[in-house]
C-alpha cells in the first residue's frame, strides 16, 4: 500500500481530530490541510513498528494541538461567529453532537485520550500515541468518564 492509499483508508482519523478540536469550519479546513502536509512531510519517518493508523493519530493530534496553540495566541476578543441554521438532525446525530461538545470541554490531553478510546484503541496504543504511560491513560480515562458523566447529566436534565 502506498502513502495515498494509507491516507485514504484512514482519512476519518484526521476528520475526527479536526471536529473534536475545532468548531469553526475555516479552522477545520486549515488544520486538515496542515495535517495532510505534516503527514506527507513525515511519512518517510514511519517505520512500521506501529500500525499506520496509530502513527497517523499521533501526527494529527500533534498538528491539531500545535495549530490550536497558534490560533489561541492570535485570537482577538472581538471574534464573532455567524451560525447558519442547520438541517434537522436524527436522534443519533444529536446524541453524538452532545457527546462531542462534552468531550470538547475536556483538557487537550483528555480530549485526545477520549477520542482514541472511542475508536476502540487499546490503552497501550493510546499510551504510544500520547506519550503517556499505560497506567496514566487508564486513570485519565476513568476521570474523564466521570467528568463527562457530570457534564452530560447537566445537559440531559
| Per-residue model confidence as pLDDT tens digits over 130-153 | 999 999 999 999 999 999 999 888
Q: What is the pLDDT of residue 78?
A: 37
44-59: average pLDDT: 90
Q: Using the predicted structure, report yes or no on whether residue 97 has a pLDDT greater than 90.
A: no
Residue range 3-42, pLDDT digits in tens: 899 999 999 999 999 988 998 889 999 999 999 999 999 9
Under DSSP, is residue 10 helix (H, G, I), strand (E, B) or coil?
coil
Q: Using the predicted structure, report yes or no on whether residue 2 has a pLDDT greater than 60.
A: yes
Nearest to 38 by CA among 60, 66, 65: 60
Percent of the chain having pLDDT more than 90?
A: 54
Q: How far apart are CA 114 and CA 106, in angstroms?
A: 9
Greater pLDDT, 85 or 56:
56
Q: Give the confidence band of 75 by pLDDT, cuts at 50, 70, 90.
A: low
Q: How far apart are CA 128 and CA 147, in angstroms?
A: 24
Grid coordinates in use for 102? Answer: 462534552
Buried b (16+ CB within 10 A) or exposed e, 80-98: eeeeeeeeeeeeeeeeeee
97-101: average pLDDT: 85
Q: Using the predicted structure, report yes or no on whether residue 71 has a pLDDT greater than 90.
A: no
Q: Using the predicted structure, report yes or no on whether residue 77 has a pLDDT greater than 50.
A: no
Average pLDDT, the chain: 85
Buried b (16+ CB within 10 A) or exposed e, 25-57: eebbebbbebbbebbeeebeebeeeeebbbbbb
Amino acid at each position: 500500500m502506498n502513502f495515498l492509499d494509507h491516507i485514504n483508508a484512514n482519512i476519518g482519523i484526521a476528520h475526527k481530530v479536526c471536529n473534536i478540536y475545532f468548531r469553526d469550519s475555516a479552522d477545520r479546513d486549515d488544520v486538515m490541510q496542515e495535517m495532510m502536509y505534516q503527514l506527507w512531510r513525515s511519512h518517510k519517518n514511519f517505520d512500521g513498528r506501529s500500525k499506520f493508523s496509530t502513527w497517523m493519530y499521533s501526527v494529527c493530534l500533534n498538528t491539531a494541538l500545535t495549530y490550536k496553540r497558534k490560533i489561541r495566541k492570535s485570537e482577538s476578543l472581538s471574534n464573532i461567529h455567524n451560525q447558519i441554521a442547520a438541517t434537522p438532525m436524527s436522534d443519533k446525530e444529536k446524541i453524538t453532537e452532545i457527546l462531542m461538545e462534552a468531550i470538547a470541554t475536556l483538557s487537550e490531553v483528555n480530549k485526545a485520550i477520549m477520542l482514541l478510546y472511542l475508536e476502540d484503541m487499546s490503552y497501550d496504543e493510546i499510551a504510544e500515541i500520547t506519550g503517556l504511560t499505560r497506567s496514566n491513560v487508564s486513570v485519565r480515562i476513568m476521570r474523564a468518564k466521570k467528568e463527562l458523566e457530570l457534564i452530560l447529566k447537566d445537559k440531559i436534565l
